[in-house]
Amino acid sequence: NAGVTQTPKFQVLKTGQSMTLQCAQDMNHNSMYWYRQDPGMGLRLIYYSASEGTTDKGEVPNGYNVSRLNKREFSLRLESAAPSQTSVYFCATTGSLGSYNEQFFGPGTRLTVL
């Protein structure tokens, strides 16, 4: 089992460009999350999906959109990238509703916006 996978691992964008970060899990988990991590800080929640077909804003959603494509895949889109979005992006998953609350993380995507 691959667990949680993210693509790409690294990306450099110019201001104003768009891109989609992909996340896939083979753990049969219901809930999926997107976080960003900035230097010297903890992780901050951007968006989450409690289950297939639902998405909700987290702490820092501005400038991002998400799509829960199916149970396995949860993508994060930057429509018009800004230097403030330079960060490391992590996808995470959690198991069944009401139980198995441990979160499992992907390897991250390091994004630089010039």
Partner 1 sequence: GIQVEQSPPDLILQEGANSTLRCNFSDSVNNLQWFHQNPWGQLINLFYIPSGTKQNGRLSATTVATERYSLLYISSSQTTDSGVYFCAVGLGGTASKLTFGTGTRLQVTL
Burial of 35 (0-12, 13-18, 19+ CB in 10 A): buried
Q: Which residues make up the interface to partner 1 (CB under 8 A)? A: 31, 33, 35, 40-45, 48, 50-51, 56, 58-59, 88, 90, 92, 94, 97-98, 101-105, 107-108
Shortest distance in whole angstroms from residue 50 CB to partner 1? 4
CB-nearer residue toward partner 1: 81 or 92: 92
In single-letter form, the type of residue at position 89 comes to Y
Shortest distance in whole angstroms from residue 52 CB to partner 1? 13
The DSSP symbol for 61 reads -
Size (the chain), residues = 114
Tokens 């951007």 locate to: 46
Q: How far apart are CA 13 and CA 32, in angstroms?
A: 25
CB-nearer residue toward partner 1: 69 or 88: 88
CB-nearer residue toward partner 1: 3 or 16: 3
